[in-house]
Amino acid sequence: MNVTIVDYQSGNISSVINSFKQVAKDKVNIKITSDLNKIKLSDKLILPGQGSFKSCVDSLNRINGLHDALKEFAIINKKPLLGICVGLQMFGDVGYEESETKGLGWIPGKVTKIDNQNGKFKLPHIGWNEIEIVKESKILKDIQNKSHMYFVHSYEFVPGDKSVITATTDYSSKIVCSIEKDNLFGTQFHPEKSDKTGLKVIENFLNL
């Protein structure tokens, strides 16, 4: 099985690569590339995201044909794709970080700044936080409710259809931290930085 981490210069993703290789061992071929043909021929994709919504979208759009290749892979061919942090946020229609920026438009919704209640909550939201599993999810299989995951973000994805939400975290409000829609999976938390529980999320995705 070929699993590809999409390389579109979204920041340091070495921890993503290392964690997926650690879980996969020698059973799965893990590679990182921006080569469109290799992406199209993959069995599964990981779309990481580090930085602002606008910078990640801009970086992705700078690679000619990548937007269409991802759409063909995930929306037309319906192969499994996992978005991490801003990678998940980009599933939405639009984001408002830095300036209004169009997303991939795969899952109706918007990316807005976390309401920190006039400074009551620090932004960015950094560190470990408890997740509440609200719906069965393939990537959350065998993960205990109220497990702790690692977060680094100031913006949240607000989907139009609440049925895609599989887990939330409480930080000023109920923030969406895991979604699933058909072959699309996303986590606002960083599974690659979330110790053994995060590695289990990665294992579940690789075992789909």
Residues with catalytic function:
85, 190, 192
Instruction: Provide the CB-side half-sphere exposure for 195 (13 A, CA).
Output: 9
Contact 207, 80 (CB under 8 A): no
Could you give the CA distance from residue 170 to residue 121 in angstroms, rounded to a whole number? Answer: 11
Measured distance CA(151)–CA(193) in Å, rounded: 9
> Do the beta carbons of residue 16 and residue 52 sit within 8 Å?
no
Helix ranges, 63-194 (H)? 66-71, 86-89
Q: Which amino acid is at 154?
A: S
Report the relative pairing of strands 81-84 and 184-187 from DSSP bridges.
parallel
| Cβ atoms within 10 Å of 115's Cβ, excluding its own | 14
d(CA 105, CA 71): 10
